[in-house]
Amino acid sequence: MSTASQVATHTTPADPAHPAVGAATSLLDAYTPGDHFLATPGRTLLSRGPGRHVPHDERPLTARVHAALTAAVTAGQESPVVIGAIPFDHTAPAALSVPESVRTAPALASDPLIALPAAVPAAGTWEIRQVPEPEIYGKGVTAAVERMWRGEFSKVVLARTLELTSGAPLDLPAMLQRLARRDPSGYTFALPTGPGRTLIGASPELLVSRHGEQVVANPLAGSTPRSADLAEDVRRAATLLESVKDLHEHAVVVDAVHQALAPHCTELTVPARPTLIRTATMWHLSTTVTGTLRSPDTSALKLALALHPTPAVCGTPTQTARQVITETEPFDRGFFTGVVGWGNAEGDGDWVVTIRCAEAEERTLRLYAGAGVVAASEPEAETAETAAKFRTFLSAVGAEL
């Protein structure tokens, strides 16, 4: 299921001589608040208008999604897809729906027009409140490290937020343009999560994809901020590849992904050492795990829920880390460190870790950033890492911390 026509009910026409020129960016340009927009390295999707909402009830989420897709097929809809967001707390309501139609195009990165610069953010003032304040966040890191040295757990991901309030209504299409054009090879999304609320962001991390029998996961863990100076940027990348602390943090996540996928695959390939990927603001240790599916009945969504949350966004052991997060973070994560993506009735799909994101409502943005805390962590370094991760979104709105 790799072609756009197999994924959705409507495919953007393309010039056979230039199949990608303008196809993906036209969907980016067409986005308006309330639409579902999702761009992956394989395709770009845009849906508009009413659809079948996936209800929140006692049934497993996979069963509810299957029922919604089956109902769409029964109603005569051709190749329906589910699209949307799943929260960090798996017991909270998801924001998933099966649109009546989806326009699709190739990947943004394959469209030459994506190289055109986005408009500079309009001049304006932002009121910024840090929750918690950096000093309080650092104390939380210190407390977690002390508990790790006592043997209570081995890793926790602690996050903080920025609450941005604008004097004017938010321009979500302009924000989406800047996010997409800054990192077109990543996963860019703008998804409604409630009346007047939008989850918007650009994540570098694929949780899992399934296309036919092939399964791919790309866990990221271990990060360092980039530098505008080329020599320093290369030095930081090389240092990250040799960092004992970061390599250990990464290995914990890769092992968890391996353990979660192994029961569902007949074979699984896990590289012995990570490589590097980069975004506009960060270097990340990266491992691409590939496998062959054991049963065609195992959907991409089922795999995503088996993986979620990985130690990269929660910690280990999972239940202990969740409790530490609840005790330490003075806010509800909502959809941050949850999952966004799409899936079809055949079980194919792409599901992405929800990071580098914000929740938008009227004139307010809540930005999120987290850092993996292990026994070797230092409060100043983890605070600096979250500040660097905020830069992805701050640059998209023309704000500075």
From the list 155, 249, 329, 389, the catalytic residue is: 155
43 DSSP assignment: -
Q: What is the rounded CA–CA span in Å between residue 82 and residue 352?
A: 14
324 sits in which H/E element: helix 318-328
Contact 38, 340 (CB under 8 A): yes
Q: What is the rounded CA–CA span in Å between residue 245 and residue 235?
A: 17
Contact 144, 162 (CB under 8 A): no
Phi/psi class of residue 77: alpha, beta or left (left: φ > 0; alpha: ψ in -120 to 50)? beta
- Name the residue with tokens 């995503």: 304
Q: Which amino acid is at 197?
A: R
Q: Which amino acid is at 148?
A: M
Main-chain dihedrals φ then ψ at residue 126, nearest 5 degrees? -120, 130
**205 flagged as catalytic:** yes
Compute CA distances 225 → 229, 281, 384, whole Å. Answer: 12, 6, 8
Spatial strand order in the sheet of 282-286: 220-225, 282-286, 275-278
**302 flagged as catalytic:** no
Main-chain dihedrals φ then ψ at residue 93, nearest 5 degrees? -65, 140
From the list 58, 135, 139, 205, the catalytic residue is: 205
Coil, helix or strand at residue 256: helix
Which residues are known to be catalytic?
A: 155, 205
